[in-house]
Structure 1
């Protein structure tokens, strides 16, 4: 049964996987409205199943306490990162999950190498760490806005035209290091169409309860849509590796994006296949001793009857 479930999930997410070594063109290779012939009603049931699976495997991951998972989410504004995290992780123990968001780097962060702040927020063994935006900002927003690179106080030779190729290599090496030390790296790009983003921005403006989500900076960033699409395409091509492949999730339908994210994370946990620890013979004997003591305190035990007699006196 478990093997059939794993195979079914693997087949479902395979069309979303960026084959390592391939060249990606987002405009032609991935459809933001793809939904695998599912209806929304079917999707609701599948998401519930996925959340239940994550709950099961996260508990085992925490109990085993030898492996961890880093789940990276990248996307354009309004693609649904927050909602994806909220829905996909709705059934798991919050003590075993840590979510980190990365905004404009602080002065302290700028005084370190560009990966330092991400290294500081990595999950511990037994945890699922979620990066809401991630170290890939360093080859996306920093690339689209060269002034951000200048603020990173790099030496002159660190700002030459080869900087992006170097960063792809450094990121690949860093992720390989994490994987080899027991931390699976799961990477999801929520692929939103430009028209769907426009509609979501309008909704944020028109609905008072969504006004807080909107900033005029979102529209200014939208003007760089083409540059971002090129940066995303090159990033996916250069950093989808056998040890940490990218998955491009269609994001125009929020319900489908959430199913995909749950399936991708669930598949990673199933590949780890964490197990509850087993206790040794002496520990088992101690458990049986404790059990007998607890049973003797039960309502029908001799000890319980003696306590009752004393109360009557």
Structure 2
């Protein structure tokens, strides 16, 4: 396994808006101590250190202006959450395209799951660095031009190619507003901002089919209730041919593959994506435990069509990947 690449040539501003200066060396020492112990008492020590660090950083005006996730929203009551969640669930089922309602529902229904995701971050040195440094994934903190200029085959190059192919960007994720705990709010923010990374790792485009496959993967991997809801509602928007791709074929189709991958791969919530831009993409997928989705008959027909027209590559990023490998082999 190749060593993780470093971004020594990049200024700190190209990685994230900045780490609050109030996060002291004592917090870092508390994080380092957990590498020798995974007990519940160690987790409590980390959570206490993170909480005290958050309180210190929130008292600093420069810290509060460095990142939107450091601005604490007003706490809301349980009754308010129930009412908001019910309304968001009804709106999401009525119109699955309402991204704002889905984001709201994810916050209101996912808070009980967030402590487990936080503990998964604390379980590795890489995840602890993410939780302590609080990097953000958007164009104010990530140098997209630099990523586009990386060598072929690197994670950063594949990520920006996926963004360009699908005509999307990293600035579309809604701010997390309804998670009261500051640390858990960042965990939700990190998971939300990394959604495009999950697409890239699963080799899926922004489409009804691709989104459904990724939601199935996320449901199995993270366990957030809104991912299960999206996994159930997603197939209703698919055509008959797309549903055949999703459920047909060996191993339960793409749905079966996504579920197995979600249960098997290493915890993605603790991956420091910003440290891995220069890492080989195939090696990173293998390190995290991903396997290639098996192409169905319909996907193979897409590959053949894409050999004549790149615009035909609309159903699966896996097809795009096969075409690029075929072209490099000529």
Would the TM-score normalized by the shorter structure come out above 0.5?
no
Q: Highest Rg: 1 or 2?
A: 1
**Structure 2 length as normaliser, TM-score?**
0.24
Greater relative contact order structure (CA < 8 Å, 6+ sep): 1
**Structure 1 length as normaliser, TM-score?**
0.25
Q: Which has the higher helix share?
A: 2
